[in-house]
Amino acid sequence: MQLDSPDWKRKYHRTISLFFNISRHLTPGGDIKVSLEAVMDIIAEKLSLQRGMITILNREAGEIVTSVTWGFSDEERARGRYLPGEGVTGSVVETGEPIVVPDVNTEPRFLNRTGTKRKPEEGTTSFICVPVKSTREIIGTLSIEWSCTEEEELDDYLHVCTIIGTMISRAVRLHQAVHEENQKLMEENRILSEQLKEKYQPENIIGTSRPMRQVFHLIKKISKTQATVLILGESGTGKELIAQAVHYASNRADKPFIPFNCAVLPENLIESELFGHEKGAFTGAVSLREGKFELAHGGTIFLDEVGELSLNAQTKLLRVIQERQIERIGGQSQIHVDVRIIAATNKDLEKEVENGGFRADLYYRLNVFPITVPPLRERRTDIPLLADFFIQKHALLNGTRVNRISTPALDMLMSYHWPGNVRELEHCIERAVILTDEDTVHGYHLPPSLQKIGNYIPDDTGKLQRQIEILEYELIIEELKRTGGNLIACAKNLGITYRQMGIRMEKYRIDIKRYKTLKKGAG
């Protein structure tokens, strides 16, 4: 056929149109089965097929199964199953080479499982089957059937089908890669979700004191309900940990937990953060943005420092709680949100209500189930546990070998009033872990504000004198522990006289009875 003949031009344009339309349907991201069905429809229309089929090799089952068909009944399609090497389709899968059958009635390998063969007087049916290959393996086949009239047409159709098979293989490989990546992400999300649930279970919040046991009891009672929770407590007590424990023990544990600190943004930005905005709602709103309430849909929103909200923001928050709907800035429609609200504050909201700084109706809406987190000074028996936990945590983070805290240093922690609560304790331990070159945190590693020696406060006349006294106190306490409170042995080990030992016991107001109960080598 001449390249400039009308027939050649017509065939060329038809082929290009075929490939273009197929490529439009093989874009990534969609349902691969729907895409292949569309491809089969296009091939059937452009090539005037009687029937067509795409099969996929199921390697686990060791069977070639029909995935997409055109011109087949459901019964015929169900019969289209082959083993590798079986029939024409099985041979193509096994060898990776295409097979052209000019007349299916004369081809012994053509098994006719789907009922293709016709009587001779009904005309000739030709069949082409090409492999769908990935880089290293056969993943399936593409086959077509039509009434062929010319040998040249067989070559043309084989060429076209080979190209389409390559296009399909690329789409299937990409789909498989995306599917595998999605499965990997889903599995990682599942594992992360399980880890979060485990991490924030109440029993994993450190504390065995009576006040904390009461908090754990309340968490267990409220978690499985949908009630709004108000967490009260000083700054640094761990209110967000309590909120997370409630969420991850609830029926919403698999949904988002969205925290928002009401004190960190100016009033004009809080509404946008909480409720979102439409594109062009204000200068700088270059795109639509979902707010925290939308992001928390189905899960929990944690409003920390809720007492810092302005009266205007309180009014809008009250409306969301009452109606369970939000409206983005610049939006015209109401958006339903299904969220559980957990709020927290370090303020006395009752007093704020009396002073007019907090809406009474919002307070009553939030204060459905209050949980008060005790300050650290009211749960001092938890300090050793917390100190050990933070030592292990920051030793791991900083790659050090620190694994314990000395008794004098622990005494300093126990006697401090902790205005910054657990957060302050963690910062002190982190600092000490960084400073120490040993495996033990000593009193002189702690901040100066904590360096009270028993009932004795070091002289403030100089930093050197303070450090000397702290180190001396540490050494005495360690020897008292090792000797079980034996002053003579302790003095001898320290290289001082019994009288000098007595002077230091009096200076540091050390209770010898405490150490006589300890066995030698304890601690």
* pLDDT tens digits along 384-394: 999 999 999 99
Q: Which two tokens stand for residue 458?
A: 């070091």
CATH of domain 378-516: 1.10.8.60
Task: Specify the range with the lowest mean pLDDT, choosing from 127-131, 377-381, 412-416.
Answer: 412-416
pLDDT of residue 521: 41
- C-alpha angle 373-395-408 in degrees, rounded to nearest 5: 70
pLDDT of residue 122: 62
Task: Read off the pLDDT of each residue in 447-473 and give the average, rounded to a whole number.
Answer: 69
Q: Which residue has the higher pLDDT, 343 or 254?
A: 343
In the block, residue with structure tokens 């093989």? 26
Q: Which residue has the higher pLDDT, 448 or 30?
A: 448
> Distance between CA 31 and CA 276 in Å, rounded?
31
* pLDDT tens digits along 160-212: 898 888 888 888 777 766 666 777 777 777 677 666 555 655 666 888 899 99
Question: How far from the centroid of its chain's Cα atoms is residue 423's Cα?
Answer: 25
The structural domains of the chain, with segments of one domain joined by +, span 6-179, 200-374, 378-516
pLDDT of residue 296: 95
Give the residue from 396, 8, 29, 67 showing the smallest Cα distance to 179.
29
- C-alpha angle 33-38-41 in degrees, rounded to nearest 5: 125
Question: Does the pLDDT at position 121 exceed 90?
Answer: no
Confidence of residue 13 (pLDDT cuts 50, 70, 90): confident
Q: Which residue has the higher pLDDT, 65 or 463?
A: 65
Give residues with Cβ within 8 angstroms of 177, minimum separation 6: none
Contact status, residue 192 vs residue 248, Cβ threshold 8 Å: no
pLDDT of residue 1: 45
Average pLDDT, the chain: 84
* pLDDT tens digits along 129-166: 999 887 778 888 999 888 876 777 788 888 889 888 88
Topology of the domain covering 200-374: Rossmann fold (3.40.50)
- Residue 214 β-bridge partners: none
pLDDT of residue 16: 82
Question: Does the pLDDT at position 523 exceed 50?
Answer: no
CATH of domain 6-179: 3.30.450.40
- H or E stretch at 424: helix 421-435
DSSP sequence for 211-254: HHHHHHHHHHHHTTS---EEEE--TTS-HHHHHHHHHHTSTTTT
Give residues with Cβ within 8 angstroms of 288, minimum separation 6: 276, 277, 278, 279, 328
Cα dihedral 276, 282, 286, 290, rounded to 10, equals 0
Task: Read off the pLDDT of each residue in 317-321 and give the average, rounded to a whole number.
Answer: 93
Give the residue from 72, 47, 12, 38 showing the smallest Cα distance to 168.
38
Question: Is-same-fold flag (6-179; 200-374)?
Answer: no
